[in-house]
Structure 1
Amino acid sequence: MGMVQEFKEFAFKGNVLDLAVAVIIGAAFGKIVSSLVEDVITPLLLNPALKAAGAENISKLAWNGVTYGNFLSAVISFLCIAIVLFLIIKGANKMQKPAPATAPAGPTQEQLLAEIRDLLKNK
């Protein structure tokens, strides 16, 4: 029974459950961002730019048997996703309220006693 109890304690700790929730939400959020890039940004921005450059089907680009088009396509996709994530996180950070400023620390007990001592000396 000891091993089962240890597993229960491990599996139901707050850290493990928080991590599991974060992974699930992260996967769902990844699908949202991928869809945004593939279904919205790529047709609106990337496809016209590729057509203007004369590389409409970038994945078929090759040179001496090296199909660098797939790699180039993956790099462009990564950059698009990174920019979108940056903008989303930047917007989310702006929406969060700033942390309240902490009050400046007052004088320590030793400083107050030293001031009292100095005032008593001056009398």
Structure 2
Amino acid sequence: MNPLLLRTALITGAVIGLLNIVFAALDYGLENLPLWFYAAQLLLLPAMILPMRYFPQASATRDFLGRAGLFALGWAVPFAIYKFAHDVLSPVFDPVASLISYAVTVLLFSLIFAAIRRPRAG
């Protein structure tokens, strides 16, 4: 992996983890966040590094559904960690609703990214 892509993956994973901690602290209070929640945020670093190769491939893929699929693969694991770690904190956690929300969000974002990040003509 080239150094720029690696640095981008690490910075993105760290920012997403910090944002998740901030949002969870706003919802539940920083003192109420369990230790496993912080540890789960560390999983975002390898979760961003491993699928990072999908993003340049997606940006170069001409087929819309193929491009959307690559974006979905790239965001699937990091977003799962982000979403489920936060959702599980809720006292009224519903695994089915959380999974449906996760799937719909990944689908929508992959379609939006595929529409925005299409390869240049020529």
TM-score normalised to the size of structure 1?
Answer: 0.32
Which of the pair has more CA radius of gyration? 1
The structure showing larger relative contact order (alpha-carbon pairs under 8 Å, at least 6 residues apart) is 2
TM-score normalised to the size of structure 2?
Answer: 0.32
